[in-house]
Each structure stands twice: as structure tokens, then as C-alpha cells.
Amino acid sequence: MKNSRRKVGKYEVGRTVGEGTFAKVKFAQNTETGESVAVKVLAKSTILQHRMVEQIKREISIMKIVRHPNIVRLHEVLASRTKIYIILEFVTGGELFDRIVHQGRLSENESRRYFQQLIDAVAHCHSKSVYHRDLKPENLLLDAFGNLKVSDFGLSALPRQGVGLLHTTCGTPNYVAPEVLSGQGYDGAAADIWSCGVILFVLMAGYLPFDETDLPTLYRKINAADLSCPFWFSAGAKSLIHKVLDPNPKSRIRIEEIKRDPWFKKNYLRVTLRENEDVNLDDIRAVFDDIEDRYVAEQTELMEGGPLIMNAFEMITLSQGLNLSALFDRHQDYVKRQTRFVSHKPAKVIISSIEAVAESMSLKVHTRNYKTRLEGVSANKATQFSVVLEVFEVAPSLFMVDVRKAAGDTLEYHKFYKKICAKLEKIIWRPAEGMPGSSLLRTMTC
């Protein structure tokens, strides 16, 4: 059996760090500078089959236009005969949603700081006539220094010339503005502001302001802005949230008014933007206009036998990027959110154990090489749920299993991860205190 590690242009491509319906995201390194990047890989056949050429072009163009310290940066776009590679900033701190899941809620000061950074990013998008339309904690990442980065512009909209209102209903229901649900046309800026208000509430409360199991009830609550703030919200926070979560988009507070709000302005640090930064879209035109004839040198290093070998640098990026304190300080609870574990069992035994446990949980199992995809139905039976587990060799006779959500609810994924770890207890190795490397390895355990 053979596994491959390849180069795309000047980038050495490593493990998969995320995947969705139409794309995979892989960790990579710029071989010229040593910089870590994320590579979004899309198959041209899939793009053409689903008639997504214009949507993908739009997403890439938008990310090039909206350059801001609190927005994930797009470096360049490359293509081979069969694939398109979007080279993005590699953000090491994980999803903001993970912080909420594991802490329950954030302090008012911390929530305010993230909200300030979110509003700065959204204001910059709106100044470029770009509306995100799917703002939620899962699309908000954190860098190694704890700064917020907005990602995933797949649903973003640039209004057509002369068209003021948007008409597509999209986004995640709990975060969507009432006028979006009505289907009557809506102002993208006002809709994004509503989503920002829901996010602020979730950060401070630890739960959603509008959360019902059946959609008709959920929609009624959203349309009426039927919410109650917890007792620990300050008066200033409550006042601002009610102004943002105004069901009438015409009277809803605007970004310039949010920035003048006394609660918002506390400890506010204004973002400095690079002046006169040119945006060149030539690489996007070349990739899509000459879709069959453009090539990128793809060199494949074939390795015989077992799973991909993970080098030390990749292991470090698993744990808070360049913030190395997370590798050694076992009192930092947020490290425990890492969804991976280590095992001394042979790679084939690990895979067969995962398959057996998955089948006992009535999940569909698809295994190829040393990667297994598990599929099932979510707890509320409303959506599909899938998880990918991939085995890496980190040392002789020591393997790491990387577990990641492919589809479904993030909170449900965390519950699934704890459950499967409990069932795989016999193959999971937990390093003893004081042994060499134990601090790093402990960040990989359940």
C-alpha cells in the first residue's frame, strides 16, 4: 500500500485539517519561507458538475478584496489539470465555538473584545459592498494570539449593479435575521448585524437566544425577537443586544451607531489597515478562464507501507501554533479540546478497532488506506452527521489518530468524540507523568 505527500507549486502539502461537501482543507508549508498555510482543494470536475464556477470565483474574489487583520487572508490561487488550490492564511487557534463549548460562556470583557473585532471585520466587508450572510461562531477562528479571524465566505454576496436587496435565503437558522427568513428581499448589511448580535449573546450567555427543536417555533421566536437576557448581562450589554436584535431591519442599529455605543467603546482598540494595498485578480481569471490548460508542478513523494508520517513541525502546529506554552502547561484547559488521541497499537489494529466501534454505534463506515469516514443521522434526525478519523505515524510504533467533523452540528460532534473515546479506551495510550514529551502527547489524548 502506498501513501503520498506532495508539492503544489512551492507548497508541501500535509494532513487534512477539515473537509466539507465540495472541498478539503489541508495543512501545508511554503518551502521557500517556511510559512504555514492552509490549502483549500477543490476538484474541477465537481465544480463543473455542480455548476459552481461562478460561486467559487466569487468566493475567491471576495477574499482577495476584503483584506483585514480580522479576516482570514487569501495568499494566491493555483491550479493543476484536475484541481484548484486556494492558498490561505493558516489560523492555529481553532474555532471560537470551541471556546464556548468548553468554557460554557466567556467573560463580558472577553466577549466585548471578540465582538469589537467582529464588528471591525464586518464593517470592512460592508465598506467593500460584501455581505457575509453566514456569520456564526463556527466561522470565527482564533489565531495564536487569541485574535478573531472571520472565515468561510462561501455564502457571501456582492450585489449586482443597480440591485439593492438580496433574495437568497441562506445561513444557519439560529443566526439568521427575520427578514432573511421572510423571503421578501433584505439588506445584507442589516442581516449581518443581526447575526453579530446573536454571536454576542452566545459568547456572553453560553447558549443561543433563539433555540427550538422545530423550525416553525424557532422562526416565530426570531420574527418576534422573543429573547430574555441572563441576569449576569450588564445593563449596557443588554441595551446594545436589544438594539442589534431588533426584528425591524429599518430601525435596527447600524455599524456606525454600534461603534458609538458606550458599552462597545470600552477598551476599544482601533484596527490599523495597510494603506493602498493593491488587489490583483489576474490569478483568479487565469485559473478559471483557462481551466484545462493551466498547470502547477505537482511532485509526489511515495512512501511505502503505513500511514503518513507527521513531522515535528506539524505536531507543534496541532497545539496552538507558535504559542508553545500550550505544549507544556497542562493546566490550560482549552488544549483538551483537541480532538485526537495516540496509540501504541499497530495502525491496522487502530483502524479495525474504529470500524468495530462505529458499527456497534450503527454508523456507516468507509475506509480507504488509513482514513475512515463515519456517517450517521444527527440526534434530532434532521441532518446528516459525519466524522473523519485519520491515522498518522508520529514516532516508531506510536500513532496519532486525528478526528474531525465533516458534516453536522459542532456540539453534537464534541459529544460523539467523548463517546467514541470511551469505547476505544483499550487502544488509547496515555503518557505517564514526567516522561519525555509527555506534555505534548497529553495534548493529543481524549
Domains 2-90+281-303 and 309-442 share a fold: no
pLDDT at 94: 78
Nearest to 419 by CA among 385, 383, 368: 385
Percent of the chain with pLDDT over 90: 22
Q: Cβ contacts of residue 38 below 8 Å, gap of 6+?
A: 17, 25, 26, 27, 28, 87, 88, 89, 90, 91
pLDDT at 309: 65
Is residue 196 a contact partner of residue 122, using CB atoms and an 8 Å limit?
Answer: yes
pLDDT at 320: 40
Q: Cβ contacts of residue 201 below 8 Å, gap of 6+?
A: 208, 209, 227, 229, 241, 245
State the average pLDDT over residues 374-385: 72
pLDDT at 261: 97
CA 342 → CA 23, 71, 388, distances in Å?
27, 33, 16
> pLDDT: is 154 or 310 the higher one?
310
* 69-83: pLDDT as tens digits: 999 888 888 888 788
pLDDT at 153: 62
> pLDDT: is 323 or 89 the higher one?
89
pLDDT at 272: 78
Q: What kind of fold does domain 96-265 have according to CATH?
A: Transferase(Phosphotransferase); domain 1 (1.10.510)
pLDDT at 121: 92
Is 134 a known active-site residue?
yes
Find the range with the poorest average confidence among 259-273, 341-355, 368-382: 368-382
* 101-147: pLDDT as tens digits: 878 889 999 999 999 999 999 999 888 888 877 788 778 888 888 89
> pLDDT: is 243 or 391 the higher one?
243
pLDDT at 322: 35
pLDDT at 26: 85
pLDDT at 246: 94
Is residue 244 a contact partner of residue 197, using CB atoms and an 8 Å limit?
Answer: yes
Amino acid at 244: V
> pLDDT: is 274 or 61 the higher one?
61
Dihedral, 39, 40, 43, 48 alpha carbons, nearest 10: -140
* 230-263: pLDDT as tens digits: 999 999 999 999 999 999 999 999 999 999 999 9
* 299-356: pLDDT as tens digits: 444 444 567 666 554 554 554 433 333 333 333 333 234 578 888 888 889 999 999 9
Would the pLDDT of 84 be above 60? yes
pLDDT at 159: 37
Which H or E element spans position 393? strand 384-395
Nearest to 366 by CA among 406, 310, 397, 393: 406
pLDDT at 157: 38
Find the range with the poorest average confidence among 211-225, 352-366, 370-384, 403-417: 370-384
State the average pLDDT over residues 294-303: 44
Dihedral, 380, 386, 387, 388 alpha carbons, nearest 10: 180
> pLDDT: is 182 or 111 the higher one?
111
pLDDT class of 367 with cuts at 50, 70, 90? confident
First and final CA of the chain: distance in angstroms?
29
State the average pLDDT over residues 190-201: 93
Residue numbers belonging to the annotated binding site for ATP = 40
Find the range with the poorest average confidence among 91-95, 204-208, 406-410: 406-410
pLDDT at 238: 96
* 7-39: pLDDT as tens digits: 888 899 888 877 766 678 888 999 889 898 988
Would the pLDDT of 400 be above 50? yes
CATH of domain 2-90+281-303: 3.30.200.20
Would the pLDDT of 445 be above 70? no
Residue 29 has phi, psi (to 5 degrees) of: -125, 135
pLDDT class of 160 with cuts at 50, 70, 90? very low
Q: Domain coordinates of the chain in residue numbers?
A: 2-90+281-303, 96-265, 309-442
Q: Which residue has the cell 489494529?
A: 349
pLDDT at 295: 39
**CB neighbours of residue 311 within 10 Å:** 14
> pLDDT: is 144 or 199 the higher one?
199
Mean pLDDT of all residues in the chain? 77
Query: Which entry of 134, 143, 187, 246 is annotated as an active-site residue?
Result: 134
Would the pLDDT of 165 be above 50? no
User: Right CATH number for 309-442 from 3.40.50.1260, 3.30.310.80, 3.90.870.10, 3.30.70.2860?
Assistant: 3.30.310.80
Residue numbers belonging to the annotated binding site = 40
pLDDT at 292: 43
> pLDDT: is 228 or 443 the higher one?
228
Q: Which residues pair with 271 in a beta bridge?
A: none
